[in-house]
Amino acid sequence: MPQPLEFPESFVKPWRDLLLSNRDQRSGDSPSYNTAEAIDSLMTTSTPKLLYVGTGHTIFTRAILPAIASAKYSVHFVTCYWAASPSLDGLRQTLVKLAEARSRSREPLPTLQISIGFSSWGLFQKLFHTASLEGYVYPPSKWASLGLPDEETLRKGGIEMTVKSLFFTPISVMHPKYVIVDESKAWVPSCNVSWERWFEGCVELEGEVVDRLLSFHARVWGASKPMSTEDIELAETSSTSPINQGDDDRSATQCIRFSGTSPSPTIFLPSPHHRNPRFSFFPFLSQSNPPMTPLNAALLTLFANARHDINIVTPNLTSWPVMDALLDALSRGVNVHVRTGRNMMVIEQLVTAGTTTSWCIRKFVKKYQALCKRSQRNDVEAQSATPGQLEILYYKQLEARASREDEPVFSHFKMTMVDGEYLVLGSGNMDRASWWTSQEIGVLFYMPGFTERRVWENVLEKRAEVVFRSKEEA
């Protein structure tokens, strides 16, 4: 009988050591993962079921809303941005239909507990938001202004709902997005409740990692003690959608089922928010290092240990520790492939980073070219490694489908894959906000031979503009 797969010690040990050696700087984290026991508790397993890509609205309609509609006991819904949008309309309609269906039931049903958490709902909400870790709980009288059903409609269906926001000035948003249904299944998307037509991803998970996410949720959002789920029969909520949407293989709306059936080694990677004690209204003047959170430490460890290739999809690239780590990997002969966005959220980049992705890429490419020149000048007898190949691509909308509602304008998907074995999905970007101030979550899977990556690669390969490709330098 084959031994169950485990995370290689070559990753686990340096990751743990990096966290433990920097724990003093994280003494004020909330939630805190400062001890060896807390760090070890993040290592678990999961059974990934489906991976969806498409616009945020299509992910809501195909994955998230059907999941909520299947709930019997509880729904924990967390997002960052909350805005009037088709996604919000769909959420409201789903809750109303769920309440109506429950009210018509001929059998007594358990109360359905729904908690909704978000961080950003406009400028004034953030300017005057409480600094308390308890956040602000919206009374039922304000639910309508948020685009949610009224209390009476939900009560008739045996639904009790809590709505809360968390935000910490000046720019510390709660950036995670996830949905937990009946404390047994979780969906981790990259999309918000928003009107933007952006390319997004969402992974559906079962297994022990859901318990880790529940624990994190309780510590951040103050949810009640998890109920026993031993007697809960898991409803089948997964989409049966094929890889291609209809007959149009050019569509960005795709779905793929994970081929494996055994639990995969998984690490839940929280990144607590930080106000950045050395915050400056000109962030580029701040020389402080990013907090060494479980997520940041995992990414730096993956980059430092990479042997063959690093693949990154990120909306923006403004975090200099990331770029320094990638340059170091390139110097060892590791190939680096980055997909990012042109002119996406430029004002946000300037406010949180004091720079933009395009500026950072130009500087990054110049440093890489200097690295290649130094390598060429080195004495052959030094036997230094030949720098790896670098490719940087901007997302470019598919012009032939630009008028379609499901054609993304920008890419907001977040993905890191190293050596074809380690896969990180979640909310974190490779920008300064995600690395310094925002709360984030990531999920790291150890999946040698992972082939399901084609679900996003097939979409993005058709929507690419070359910024830099080192092979053309020869």
Residue 56: is its pLDDT beyond 50? yes
Extents of the domains making up the chain: 47-263, 265-473
Tens-digit pLDDT profile for residues 370-384? 999 988 877 555 667
> How confident is the model at residue 380, as a pLDDT?
57
Q: Residue 241: pLDDT above 70?
A: no
The CATH topology of domain 265-473 is Endonuclease; Chain A (3.30.870)
138-150 per-position pLDDT tens digit: 999 999 999 999 9
Q: Closest Cα to residue 357, out of 390, 324, 392?
A: 392
Long-range contacts for 131-137 (Cβ within 8 Å, ≥24 apart)? Answer: 131/168, 131/169, 133/30, 133/166, 134/222, 135/164, 135/165, 135/166, 135/167, 135/221, 135/222, 136/164, 136/165, 136/166, 137/162, 137/163, 137/164
Tens digits of residue pLDDT in 254-297: 999 998 778 999 999 998 866 654 555 555 555 578 899 999 99
Whether domain 47-263 has CATH 3.30.870.10: the reply is yes
% of the chain beyond a pLDDT of 90? 70
Instruction: Give residue 382's pLDDT.
Output: 61
pLDDT digits (tens, 9 = 90+) for 320-345: 999 999 999 999 999 999 999 998 87
Average pLDDT, the chain: 88
For residue 134, what pLDDT band results from cuts at 50, 70 and 90? confident
Identify the pLDDT of residue 129: 66
pTM of full prediction above 0.85:
yes
CA distance 75 to 157: 14
Q: Do domains 47-263 and 265-473 have the same CATH topology?
A: yes
**Among 279-288, 391-400, 443-452, 459-468, the least confident range:** 279-288
